[in-house]
Amino acid sequence: MDEIIRKAERLRQEAVPFAMALVVRCESPTSAKPGARGLVSRDGTITGWIGGGCAQPIVIEESLRAIREGSPRLLRIMPEAGSVEVAGMRTYEMVCYSGGTLDIFIEPVLPPPQVVILGRSPVARTLGRLAKALRYEVIVHAPLATREDFPDADRLEATLVLSGIRAPQAYVVVSTQGEDDEAAVEAAVRSEAAYVAFVASKKKWDTLAKGLAARGIPPERIARVRAPAGVEIQAVEPEEIALSVLAQIVSTRRSQLLSAQEAMGTSDRPGSGTPAKPTQAPTSTEAIDPICHMKVDPRTAKHVSNFGGQSYYFCCAGCKQRFDKDPAQYAAG
């Protein structure tokens, strides 16, 4: 536990995502017992203990999915996957010699999304307070801004040069209101942020967009700017405009997370079942274990069988043993 806690704290401080896996239930015989846990890093390494050779590859694969999708999941690894269907639980087949059952909860631990504000207008100041209330990391870039303007900001920078943002999780809003509009908008569109918006009228944006094009900014970067910023709620007051902008950020972020889940075929909408033995398409450097359907790297696989002139790679000795008993059946599958 001490090693896991130290590593978790270090990764949090470095704003590096990871996942925690916890065994919540078991049916003997299993090597891991309730309370066993492991920390899975983004590179697929695991610190701690959550079970033997059959459980670990599954937990690592699902932990990496959880990190990518930003959503927790509950796994059941059992002798006959799918024999007991539980809504919201993904089941895998236990092919180790023990033949027990493990229920494992996996929770991703991700750095907070960032709201990056360029400017110190009333809308910008209100947006900073609202975003912090929703547990976003708030970063402000405004040469003339003071801590009094943004008392809740995590960082206050006196430059328009964006630095230290985590592009996939960064939502950039320009609300300069006449102070360095052009420089701020150009800095925003040159970033790789997931969302870029400009708080201004459409007429003002059209003028600035032409200037950006004249300075060589690619059209596709200009086109992704939300201007005017925010969802349409008939906002008039600065507080209302800030609310509409934050609502658009939340909507964008949730849509991105849902798209990631749907792309992986693991949408966790309430009431949806989950398939037994999830499969993943292999890349050029991956093979699929024909028994448990886990990804296996042929370059490092310890368990290999040859049948019909083709090599088959396995995550553990139990899968290989089952394949070798009837290779024709599993090779055809």
In the prediction, which pLDDT does 247 show? 96
278 token code pair: 């999830």
Same domain, 248 and 120: yes
Write out the H or E segment, with its range, that includes residue 157.
Answer: strand 155-157
Same domain, 104 and 121: no
The residue range of the domain holding 242 is 114-257
Same domain, 156 and 195: yes
Same domain, 160 and 84: no
Q: For residue 188, what are the CA distances in angstroms to 27, 124, 132, 164? A: 54, 15, 20, 13
| DSSP conformation letters of 158-202 | SSS---S--GGGEEEEE--TTSSHHHHHHHHHHS--SEEEE-S-H
| Residue 270 counted as domain residue | no
In the prediction, which pLDDT does 279 show? 37
Closest CA to 3 of 60, 67, 46: 46
CATH code for the domain of 169: 3.40.50.720
Q: Are 235 and 244 in contact (CB under 8 A)?
A: yes
Same domain, 118 and 80: no
Report pTM: 0.69
Low-confidence ranges of the chain (pLDDT < 70): 80-87, 95-99, 261, 263-285, 333
204 token code pair: 């003002």
In the prediction, which pLDDT does 265 show? 58
Of 83, 109, 135, the last residue of a domain is 109
Count of the separate structural domains present in the chain: 3
| Residue 280 counted as domain residue | no
Q: Are 118 and 141 in contact (CB under 8 A)?
A: yes
In the prediction, which pLDDT does 81 show? 59
Same domain, 224 and 119: yes
* Rounded CA Rg of the chain: 25
Of 49, 81, 109, the last residue of a domain is 109
Same domain, 122 and 246: yes
- Bridge partners of 139, per DSSP, are 116, 155
- Bridge partners of 304, per DSSP, are 313
Same domain, 149 and 62: no
Specify the residue for token string 């999915």: 65
Model confidence over 25-42: pLDDT tens digits?
Answer: 988 877 788 999 999 999
Same domain, 197 and 139: yes
Classified as helix, coil or strand, 310 is: strand
CA atoms within 13 A on the CB side of 270: 0
| Residue 269 counted as domain residue | no
Write down the mean pLDDT value for the chain. Answer: 85
In the prediction, which pLDDT does 298 show? 86
| Residue 307 counted as domain residue | yes
321 token code pair: 């043993």
Same domain, 99 and 145: no
Same domain, 237 and 188: yes
| Residue 268 counted as domain residue | no
| DSSP conformation letters of 38-77 | EEEETTS-EEE-S-STTHHHHHHHHHHHHHHHT--EEEEE
Q: Give the number of other Cβ atoms within 10 Å of residue 12's Cβ.
A: 13
| Residue 166 counted as domain residue | yes
25 token code pair: 């239930």
Maximum Cα–Cα distance for the chain, whole Å?
A: 75
Of 242, 257, 272, the last residue of a domain is 257
